[in-house]
Amino acid sequence: MATVLLAAGGKNENVIRYCYPCSYVLIHDGYVALAAAEAKTANDIMSFNNEIDKMIRQFFLDNTNLTAEEYDTHARKQWFLFANEMKEKNLIDKIIGVDEE
């Protein structure tokens, strides 16, 4: 969820998001353990998580420079973004020591 927090500042002109050149973030699927759930309970939990996934997807699309195609391509795997990629995708504003004020 840390990447979601970074994205939250994307459209707020009062927020400046910094990172170090060696920083990276991970965008990944949520985690659900359903091994001990009854079938109907498991379906309810999966439906809830699918709705959360849709909300998070839309949040990223609304608050970053990620395209729907990019997000959907990477949605089901571990997606690491390094400092320069975070800046390109509007997850951060400045890289400390690189972007001088």
For the segment 23-53, what is each residue's pLDDT rounded down to a tens digit?
A: 999 988 766 555 566 878 878 888 888 899 8
What domains appear along the chain, each with residue ranges and CATH number?
2-95 (3.90.226.10)
Output DSSP code: residue 12. Answer: -
**Residue with the two structure tokens 């390109």:** 88
Higher pLDDT, 29 or 61: 61
- Chain Cα centroid distance, residue 33: 21
pLDDT for position 99: 82
Q: Tell me the pTM.
A: 0.81
Confirm if 28 and 79 have CB atoms less than 8 A apart.
yes
Confirm if 75 and 1 have CB atoms less than 8 A apart.
no
Q: Tokens standing for 91?
A: 């997850």
- Chain Cα centroid distance, residue 3: 4
